[in-house]
Amino acid sequence: MALPDILDRCPKCDRPRFNRPHTCTTPWEVRDLEEDGGEWTLLYEPTAEDAAARFVAEDNAACSEYTTWRTVAVRRFGETAEAVAYEVELEMTPIYTARRARNQEIINREN
Ligand SMILES: [Zn+2]
């Protein structure tokens, strides 16, 4: 069962508001350049780089497929500024998890 979201998120940019006055971060539009006719996705992030990285992270999570290198286009939302291409690289990091060993007899072998 999922825990309820207690952070009071902004319905527009999805950032925590903590029940205080809030200013949304910068709106960007991001599109996958490797997908023909890919639609622009609106994302609120501080920088174009953050928007590009979040776009790829959310797309990877949605299809459970982890591409390590993607090229996307980013443009400021609501402006006529030209889109800029960004290369997004995914770096896999190892996760180490310790569990109590089932066989504790192994300890005696050391002595
Ligand atoms: Zn907001």
| Residue 17 CA to ligand 1 centre (angstroms) | 8
Per-residue tens of pLDDT for the chain, all 111 residues:
556 667 788 888 888 888 788 888 899 999 999 887 789 999 999 999 999 999 999 988 888 777 788 999 999 998 777 999 999 998 888 899 999 999 998 888 765
How would DSSP label each residue in 45-101? -SSHHHHHHHHHHHHHHHHT---SEEEEEEEETTS-PPPEEEEEE------------
- Contact by Cβ (8 Å): 89, 71: no
| Residue 74 CA to ligand 1 centre (angstroms) | 20
Structural domain spans, the chain:
27-92
| Residue 39 CA to ligand 1 centre (angstroms) | 22
Residues having C-beta closer than 5 Å to ion ligand 1: 10, 12-13, 24
**Strand 69-76 vs strand 41-44: parallel, antiparallel, or unpaired?**
unpaired
- Length of the chain as a residue count: 111
